[in-house]
Amino acid sequence: MKILFYGARDYDHLYFDPLAAEGDDDCSIDFQPTNLDGHTAALAQGYEAVCIFVNADCGRTVLEVLAEAGVKLVLLRCAGYNNVDVSAAKKLGVAVLRVPGYSPEAVAEFAMALALAGCRHIHKAYIKVRNNNFALDGLLGRNLHGGTAGIVGTGKIGAAMARICHGFGMEVLGCDSWRNPALEGIVTYVGLEALLRRSDLVSLHCPLTEDNYHMLNGETLGWMKDTAILVNTSRGQLIDTDALLDHLRRHRFGAVALDVYENEEEQVFEDLSDDILANDKVALLLAYPNVIVTSHQAFFTHTALRAIAETTLENAKSFQQGGPLPNRVE
């Protein structure tokens, strides 16, 4: 199988190269630094599979070009698949395989790192001390211990986050139509409104679907405590950024920490240090001292990269051999 790997970065070679070299000669990968979109889809001519990440455009038009080029398989090297038009892929006879749960702890640990950084103003302290400012003004934080954590989506990552919060001595509330049996004794399930009203830390861990676009909007953000910490490591479109900015302007929230944000595709994973940000909402968010923005890096650990490469290549192999496809997205 010939695989075209879109959006390749140096770190992608770390685990994909040795694994691909170990495998049989039936599977070869060509790494392409450009990302998949309407302009680059035609590069897949002659390839049976393409390998893409969260920031690729895999909508209907792109899938049509891929299918026309002979592509039979989209290998997502990530868990989320909201960037793929799954029904269009099905109609075009293109299979979509993903990597669910490659390292839930990688994402959950980062979510807690963001919560702590925001809560204890570590992002500000770092800069202050570098400027020889050792004063504590502006750095007064709050204990997480004894507070309440609200986990929206208690699947693999949400469960890992719930356990971490439990370990911190927090009461843990969960909101999910599916009750995770592994969290019995750790999580108390409530509705979204109760969770938002009662939590000192709200962490989003549900996938983006048609139903939960802007689940945190002007009204629902209004249910949160003025001092609450909001962490999003899930998908940017779960939060209405304009409404969030509106709340921030009104001095709301202890901290807001976003690893993902709306329209991040325009810039995420790119070095734009010498450029002007087209997404000026990010610049606006960063104007608030209680906001931290990172660049979709919650997954980014050695453990996760290794697991992503292993499962992606297993997915490819199983597809090629007509084996079971438990990671198929339909």
Active site residues: 235, 264, 296
**94 is a site residue for ligand NAI (CB under 6 A):** no
Q: Which residue of 260, 268, 309, 316 would you call a contact of ligand NAI, by CB under 6 A?
A: 260
- Based on CB atoms, which residue is closest to ligand NAI, 23 or 100? 100
Dihedral of CA 304/305/308/310: which sign?
Answer: negative
CA neighbor of 5 nearest in space, from 39, 38, 28: 28
Which of 85, 176, 240, 264 contacts ligand NAI by CB under 6 A? Answer: 176
**Other beta carbons less than 10 A from residue 221's beta carbon:** 22
Is residue 157 part of the contact set for ligand NAI (CB under 6 A)?
Answer: yes
CB-based contacts of 137: which residues, under 8 Å, 6+ apart? none
Closest alpha carbon to 153 in 104, 115, 117, 200: 104
Nearer to ligand NAI, 104 or 254 (CB): 104
295 alpha carbon, distance to own chain's centre:
10
Which parts of 292-311 interact with ligand NAI (CB under 6 A)? 296, 298-299
Give residue number: closest CB to ligand NAI.
Answer: 155
First-residue to last-residue Cα distance in the chain? 22
Candidates 262, 328, 300; CA nearest to 81 is: 328
Amino acid at 148: T
Region near ligand NAI per CB under 6 A, out of 4-12, 132-140, 170-178, 278-286: 170-178
Give least dist CB 93 to ligand NAI, A: 25
Cα 14 off chain centre by: 21
Residue span binding ligand NAI (CB under 6 A) among the ranges 7-15, 57-65, 176-184, 274-282: 176-184
Window 200-259: residues binding ligand NAI (CB under 6 A): 205-209, 212, 215, 233-235, 259
Q: Tell me how far, at minimum, the Cβ of 330 lies from ligand NAI, in Å.
A: 14
User: Counting contacts by CB under 6 A, is residue 175 touching ligand NAI?
Assistant: yes
Which residue do the tokens 């949160």 mark?
Answer: 224
> At its nearest, how many Å lie between ligand NAI and the CB of residue 201?
16
